[in-house]
Structure 1
Amino acid sequence: MKKEVLITKGLTEEQANYVLELYNTEIKDYVPKADYDLVNSKVETLENTVKERDKQLEGISKNIGDNEELTKQIKQLQLDNEKADKQYKAEISQLKVNNAIEMALTKAGAKTLKACKAMLDIDHIKLDKDGNITGLDEQIKNLTNNDDTKYLFNTETFVGASIGNGSNEPGADTSKMNYTELCAYMDANPDAII
């Protein structure tokens, strides 16, 4: 929430400061949905990984008698664990990219995230080593500026003053007319506003 937006909506600067103060005290303990989803996904993945590793250890303890078989199982489990770790990192990376896309589209004023997301070339949106998203801003800018897709985004519309009907004749002062004069005036000017 920005102070300028509140002021343009008709609040005074003092009122805008008060609203922002209340807003900041109310939301200080809230976590953004994107961060919550990321942490929640990590927790679920880690819980599943722990359960899977427990099952693997139970399997190893049953086959403890044969040393050669145990070595094969350990190597296989190491390979499986490396594969699961790579898959986990890829899922987290994809989740970060999806959250960044949704946040950027929301910030750009997308009317429907699903439709706007379908218009993006997600293969060209990457997460670099520093955790920054590349290729997204350019695509959103192209969507908002392209005549074929700019309808997908909210735009500010400015309302101008309404112009009169072009008549040079001032309206009659109906407050000084009696009932008969008013009826005659309305018959002669059916579009007149009283």
Structure 2
Amino acid sequence: MKRKQLEELGLQEEQIKKIMDLNGEDIQNAKDKASASNAEILEENEALKSQMSERDKDLKKLRSQVKDNEDLTKQFNDLKSKYDKDTADLTQKLATNRLNSAIDQSLSKANARNNKAVKGLLNMDEIKLDDDGNLTGLDDQIKSLQKSDGYLFDEGSKQDYQPNNGKPANADPIQAMVDIFKGDK
């Protein structure tokens, strides 16, 4: 929405300022919401990395203590397999978080009204995140949903607004009041 468009509709400067302020607040709220989501993901990412590095330290410490003792070797192998499984699980969780974050950002860019509702209609098996952080298989699905279920996306509303019933606006509001008082109209 641009100030010039509002001026062309014949709105007064005060009305235009109020509309622009409301629009600015909506934009800021959307940015704040996206920033909060990214902060949560980064925080969780750091926690997962910290857990992985601590487990690696445990493995190195235990490896140095294991020499020829069979009992310790068995404990080491058990712990190693457990930590390998945990590492794989954490890596998978991290990848899932990255994928969901990227999908949410793409849906926000596409002006989805409700990301959860749109995600429910997506075929998540076809959506992949490559090494560069780019999504594949999502754009076509979004375009398809915009055609089939356009109500899920905010594409702006079109209004056939015609001030003064389609007649041009009076150029001079003072003259219009004078004409009304004189009874010319």
Band of TM-score, shorter chain:
0.5 to 0.7
Partner amino acid for 1:46? Answer: K
Is the CA contact (8 Å cut-off) linking 1:106 and 1:113 kept in structure 2? yes
Q: Which runs of 5+ in 1 are unaligned?
A: 12-29, 166-172, 178-193
The higher relative CO (CA closer than 8 Å, separation ≥ 6) is in 2
Does structure 2 conserve the Cα–Cα contact (< 8 Å) formed by 1:125 and 1:133? yes
Tell me the CA shift for residue 116 of structure 1. Answer: 1.1
TM-score computed with the length of structure 1 as normaliser: 0.59
Gaps spanning 5+ residues in structure 2: where?
8-31, 167-178
- Name the structure 1 match of 2:155: 155
Q: TM-score, normalised by structure 2?
A: 0.61
Work out the percentage of aligned pairs sharing the same amino acid.
Answer: 28
Counterpart contact for 2:48–2:90, Cα < 8 Å = yes
Residue aligned with 2:133, SS? coil
Deviation per CA, 1:26-76: give whole Å up to 9, x if none.
xxxx99445433321122223444666788899x6xx97981010011112
**More helix, by proportion:** 2
Q: State how 1:122-161 maps to structure 2 within 5 Å.
A: 122-146=124-148, 149-160=149-160, 161=162
Residue aligned with 2:156, SS:
coil
* Residue 158 of structure 1, CA deviation: 2.8
Residue 158 of structure 1 aligns to a residue in which SS? coil
Match of 2:40 among 37, 42, 59: 37
The corresponding residue for 1:46 is 49
Judged with a 3 Å threshold, the aligned counterparts in structure 2 of structure 1 residues 163 and 86 are, in CA distance, closer, same or farther, namely same
The counterpart of 1:90, out of the listed 89, 92, 96, is 92
Tell me if structure 1 keeps the 8 A contact 2:146–2:153.
yes
